Amino acid sequence: MSRLEHYVNNTYSQHYATTGKQTTEMVFEHGHGDGFCIGNIMKYAQRFGKKEGRNEKDLYKVIHYAIILLGSMQEEQNGT
- Looking at the structure of the chain, the number of domains it has is 1
Res 15: pLDDT: 60
Cβ atoms of residues 39 and 33 within 8 Å: no
**Rounded to whole angstroms, how far apart are CA atoms 42 and 37?**
9
Is 46 inside a domain boundary? yes
Evaluate if residue 39 carries a pLDDT over 90: yes
Q: What is the mean pLDDT of residues 25-43?
A: 96
With a CB cutoff of 8 Å and minimum separation 6, the contacts of 44 are 58, 59, 61, 62, 65
Is 69 inside a domain boundary? yes
**Rounded to whole angstroms, how far apart are CA atoms 17 and 35?**
21
Q: What is the mean pLDDT of residues 36-61?
A: 94
Is 33 inside a domain boundary? yes
Q: What is the mean pLDDT of residues 68-78?
A: 94
Structural domain harbouring 59: 2-10+20-78
Res 18: pLDDT: 63
